[in-house]
């Protein structure tokens, strides 16, 4: 029954974590439930249940509950005088402080715990060295690498004198962290591999967590140095260990997903990286380390896909999150990534300014190394930029040359087509003018004949004494002659208000007779005939280069340039400008020909 209740409480914790239980009353209910479960046990079994529950809550980032469990566990361990359990509580409480970014609490409390364990004769205990490890990591985070190095060397010498392999492994692991902070990957790899070998040989269950962490650090270092094949071997090794010891919800599995995400980013398989990142984001705790780590991975995926603006936004948000977080290693690693991203975006000035800011914030040796890397990066990108710009310039010149050639050919072809079309249209206009000129000549002859006949008839009438004043021929031909005489008088066809009604009234005929007359003699209606006369007059005006199109439009009776332009284009197939240019070319050609003929004569 107790085990069933214990299982239900665990499920409650996991469910509560997944739903984001943050209300204090919810934590109180969980603590009360856990205390009732643990109260059913006695002795060492009770401490084991505390440890198991605390581990489960810690993996699910229920830190408020974990602190209370550690307090209860410490009280119970003191009651039972279990120093080993107290050492476990001290170490895990400090680790919890570290995960919550409570670094001042770590620096203040760690010496007290170490002193207590020394008094109890437990300075050879694995958790004694684990506490040293947390203490050293805290100094590294606070940019005090000197103090961290001194403590790491001291605990290594102490562990070697005690022949404590776990202690020596932890000290080497600490040195690996220090070398990572100093950007010395060769030293870091050597220290971590030696630490892993010692961890595996000591068979100490309490050191197994740090062994796995050392593997994680080594794998991350290999990935950061673009050695994915070596890193994959470590990942598979870690996964094998995790399958034996952990489920798929806690921190170890989060670490494994993080490694797989990094690995697929390095080898450029961003879809798989995205898949592992989604799994990671769904189960990772919401503390600052995992938030930054998730943002770091997401920005790398976006950068790999070329989504630089989105990646830069995520990096900037991470830096804002870390604004009050004094972790130079993490902050500088994110800033380095931002430098690379800015360089890829060709924002070299911003990248250089950020790099100089990082250089000023670090120690002299780190400053020199980073300055060299930034200079090399800047030089490389400047050379790449210059080469790219030169290459682009050549491309642009070639493309421009091709475009100019094609444009010239198209323009030449277009000019020939337009010239040929205009010549044909001019011939058509000339033929039309010729036909109308012939018609006008015929009607002039007819008018002369009519005048002669009228004179003859008048003479005969005078002889025979006929009282009629004369004979007037009123057929449609004569009406057409009268119409043309009227329209050309004072250029009546250019009048704005001219209409068939007004003209018929002026000629003394009805509108139907006028319509039939124009239709029979021109094939056009009255409006089109007036338009033809205006067009002919406009073409005559176009030969005068001093007149503008607006002036010609008004003078010919069209009113506006737009109307004139449209009607001219519809009637002749070319614009007034094109007609004027064609006629000028024709005149120039004729003038040249006449000069040549004159010179030959």
pLDDT single digits (tens) 296-346: 888 888 888 888 888 888 888 877 777 666 566 677 777 887 888 888 888
Q: Domain for residue 565, yes or no?
A: yes
Q: What is the mean pLDDT of residues 368-393?
A: 68
- Asked if residue 57 lies in contact with residue 13, where contact means CB atoms within 8 angstroms, the answer is yes
Please report where in the chains the tokens 């007819």 appear, as a residue.
Answer: 446
Q: Domain for residue 524, yes or no?
A: yes
Q: Domain for residue 124, yes or no?
A: no
Structural domains counted in the chain? 1
Decide if pLDDT at 15 tops 60.
Answer: no
Phi, psi dihedral angles at 142 (to 5 degrees)? -85, 15
- Asked if residue 5 lies in contact with residue 37, where contact means CB atoms within 8 angstroms, the answer is yes
- Asked if residue 265 lies in contact with residue 301, where contact means CB atoms within 8 angstroms, the answer is yes
Q: How confident is the model at residue 545 (pLDDT cuts 50, 70, 90)?
A: confident
Question: What residue ranges in 167-236 does DSSP mark as E strands?
Answer: none
Mean pLDDT of the chain: 77
State the Cα–Cα distance between residues 558 and 574, nearest whole angstrom.
Answer: 17
Q: How confident is the model at residue 156 (pLDDT cuts 50, 70, 90)?
A: very high
63, containing H or E segment = helix 63-80
Cα pseudo-dihedral 17, 19, 23, 27, rounded to 10: -30
State the Cα–Cα distance between residues 514 and 521, nearest whole angstrom.
Answer: 11
* DSSP letter assigned to residue 593: H
Q: Domain for residue 162, yes or no?
A: no
Where in the sequence is the domain holding 589, given as residue range(s)?
474-600
464, containing H or E segment = helix 364-464
Q: Domain for residue 188, yes or no?
A: no
Decide if pLDDT at 424 tops 80.
Answer: no
State the Cα–Cα distance between residues 590 and 596, nearest whole angstrom.
Answer: 10
Nearest one of 87, 93, 36 to 63, comparing CA atoms: 93
Q: How confident is the model at residue 150 (pLDDT cuts 50, 70, 90)?
A: very high
**What is the token pair recorded at 512?**
């139907």
Q: How confident is the model at residue 375 (pLDDT cuts 50, 70, 90)?
A: low
Q: Domain for residue 581, yes or no?
A: yes
**What is the token pair recorded at 573?**
């197939």
Q: What is the mean pLDDT of residues 221-230?
A: 88
Of 135-139, 466-470, 585-589, least confident by mean pLDDT is: 466-470
Decide if pLDDT at 130 tops 60.
Answer: yes
Nearest one of 315, 320, 324 to 297, comparing CA atoms: 315
Q: Could you tell me the CATH number of the domain that includes residue 499?
A: 1.10.10.60
Please report where in the chains the tokens 């870690």 appear, as a residue.
Answer: 238
Predicted local distance difference test score (pLDDT) of residue 349: 85
Q: Domain for residue 523, yes or no?
A: yes
Question: What residue ranges in 191-347 does DSSP mark as E strands?
Answer: none
What separation in angstroms does the CA of 78 have from each of 74, 262, 267?
A: 6, 44, 52
Q: Domain for residue 539, yes or no?
A: yes
């Amino acid at each position: 029954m107790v085990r069933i209740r214990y299982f239900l409480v665990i499920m409650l914790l996991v469910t509560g974590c997944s739903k984001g239980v943050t209300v204090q009353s919810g934590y109180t209910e969980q603590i009360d439930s856990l205390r009732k479960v643990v109260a059913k046990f006695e002795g060492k079994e009770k401490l084991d249940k505390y440890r198991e529950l605390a581990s489960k809550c810690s993996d699910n980032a229920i830190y408020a509950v974990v602190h209370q469990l550690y307090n209860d566990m410490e009280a119970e361990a003191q009651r039972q005088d279990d120093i080993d359990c107290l050492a476990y509580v001290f170490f895990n409480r400090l680790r919890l402080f570290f995960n919550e970014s409570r670094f001042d609490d770590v620096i203040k409390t760690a010496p007290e715990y170490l002193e207590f364990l020394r008094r109890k004769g437990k300075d050879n205990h694995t958790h004694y060295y684990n506490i040293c490890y947390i203490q050293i990591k805290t100094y590294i985070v606070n940019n005090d690498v000197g103090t961290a190095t001194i403590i790491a060397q001291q605990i290594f010498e102490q562990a070697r004198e005690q022949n404590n392999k776990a202690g020596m492994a932890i000290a080497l692991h600490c040195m690996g962290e220090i070398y990572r902070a100093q950007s010395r990957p060769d030293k870091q790899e050597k220290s971590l591999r030696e630490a892993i070998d010692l961890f595996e040989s000591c068979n100490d269950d309490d050191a197994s967590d740090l062994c796995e962490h050392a593997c994680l650090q080594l794998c991350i270092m290999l990935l950061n140095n673009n050695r994915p094949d070596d890193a994959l071997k470590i990942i598979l090794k870690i996964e094998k260990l995790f399958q034996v010891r952990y489920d798929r919800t806690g921190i170890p599995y989060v670490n494994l997903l993080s490694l797989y995400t990094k690995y697929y980013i390095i080898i450029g398989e961003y879809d798989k990286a995205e898949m592992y990142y989604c799994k990671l984001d769904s189960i990772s705790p919401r503390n600052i380390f995992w938030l930054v780590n998730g943002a770091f991975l997401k920005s790398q995926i976006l950068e790999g896909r070329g989504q630089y603006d989105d990646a830069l936004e995520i990096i900037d948000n991470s830096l804002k999150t870390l604004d009050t977080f004094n972790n130079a290693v993490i902050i500088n690693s994110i800033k380095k990534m931002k430098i690379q991203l800015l360089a890829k975006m060709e924002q070299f000035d911003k990248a250089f300014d950020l790099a100089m800011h990082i250089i000023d914030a670090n120690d002299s040796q780190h400053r020199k190394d980073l300055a060299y890397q930034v200079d090399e990066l800047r030089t490389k990108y400047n050379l790449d930029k210059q080469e790219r710009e030169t290459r682009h310039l050549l491309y642009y010149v070639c493309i421009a040359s091709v475009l100019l050639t094609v444009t010239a050919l198209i323009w030449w072809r277009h000019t020939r087509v337009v010239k040929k079309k205009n010549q044909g249209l001019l011939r058509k206009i000339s033929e039309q003018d010729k036909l109308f000129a012939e018609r006008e000549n015929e009607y002039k002859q007819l008018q002369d004949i009519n005048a002669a006949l009228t004179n003859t008839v008048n003479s005969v009438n005078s002889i025979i004494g006929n009282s009629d004043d004369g004979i007037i021929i009123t057929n449609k031909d004569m009406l057409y002659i009268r119409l043309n005489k009227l329209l050309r008088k004072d250029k009546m066809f250019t009048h704005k208000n001219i209409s068939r009604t007004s003209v018929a009234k002026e000629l003394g005929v009805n509108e139907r007779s006028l319509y039939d007359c124009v239709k029979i003699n021109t094939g056009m209606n009255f409006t089109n005939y007036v338009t033809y006369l205006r067009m002919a007059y406009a073409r005559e005006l176009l030969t005068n280069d001093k007149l503008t199109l607006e002036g010609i439009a008004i003078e010919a009776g069209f009113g506006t340039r737009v109307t004139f332009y449209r009607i001219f284009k519809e009637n002749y197939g070319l614009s007034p400008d094109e007609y004027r240019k064609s006629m000028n070319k024709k005149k120039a050609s004729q003038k040249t020909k006449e000069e040549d003929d004159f010179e030959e004569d």
